[in-house]
Amino acid sequence: MFIKLEKASANTAFPLDDVLNAIKWNQQSLIPVITQQFDTGDVLMMAWMNREALQESLSSLQACYWSRSRKKLWRKGETSGCTQQIIEMRLDCDGDALLLLVNQLGAACHTGRSSCFYNAVRGDQVVVLSNPNIIMPNY
């Protein structure tokens, strides 16, 4: 399926179920997901989805992930109120990674920061780039 997508011209459409059935899940039946703020391009977080989380995300247009630590669906914002409204979902060229373009409401990171990527490697140090901007429950 992804070979067909690679060779397709712009605006060629394929049935969603055919493409979803061709996703290359890892050994734990998960796919990595990078989440970006749709209007700024800021990378907010990286998480994982299984097929159920993917289907729920598509049907609700609210980000739902698979929590590897809790071993259950993780509906972003169900405890914190910091939700991610899905604007667009994209698959990479070979079907083994997803990109979510979202409207983030509140903090994306469990630390209360707008992004999980707030630690910058600068030479032989790691520099924290931002302060937590809200208190997150359950942490």
DSSP string, 11-66: T----HHHHHHT----TTS-EEEEEEETTT--EEEEEEE-HHHHHHHHHHSB-EEE
Question: Mean pLDDT across the stretch 31-46?
Answer: 97
Domain 2-105: top CATH class = alpha beta
Give the Å distances, CA to CA, from 97 to 8, 77, 84, 131, 138: 19, 22, 18, 30, 29
119 pairs with which residues across the strands? Answer: 128
The fraction of the chain above a pLDDT of 70, given in percent, is 96
Query: Are the CB atoms for 120 and 127 separated by under 8 Å?
Result: yes
- Band of pLDDT at residue 135, cut at 50, 70 and 90: low
| DSSP code, position 23 | -
Q: For residue range 39-86, list pLDDT tens digits in order.
A: 999 999 999 999 999 999 999 999 999 999 999 999 999 988 999 999
- How far apart are alpha carbons 69 and 51 in whole angstroms? 17
pLDDT at 136: 52
Query: Coil, strand, or helix at residue 122?
Result: strand
Look up the pTM and report it: 0.88
- How far apart are alpha carbons 48 and 65 in whole angstroms? 6
Average pLDDT of the residues of the chain: 93
Closest C-alpha among 44, 46, 68, 54 to residue 24: 54
- How far apart are alpha carbons 49 and 118 in whole angstroms? 23
Which sequence spans correspond to the domains of the chain?
A: 2-105
Is the pLDDT reported for residue 139 higher than 50?
Answer: no
Lowest pLDDT segment from 65-74, 91-100, 106-115:
106-115
- Band of pLDDT at residue 35, cut at 50, 70 and 90: very high
Is the pLDDT reported for residue 138 higher than 60?
Answer: no
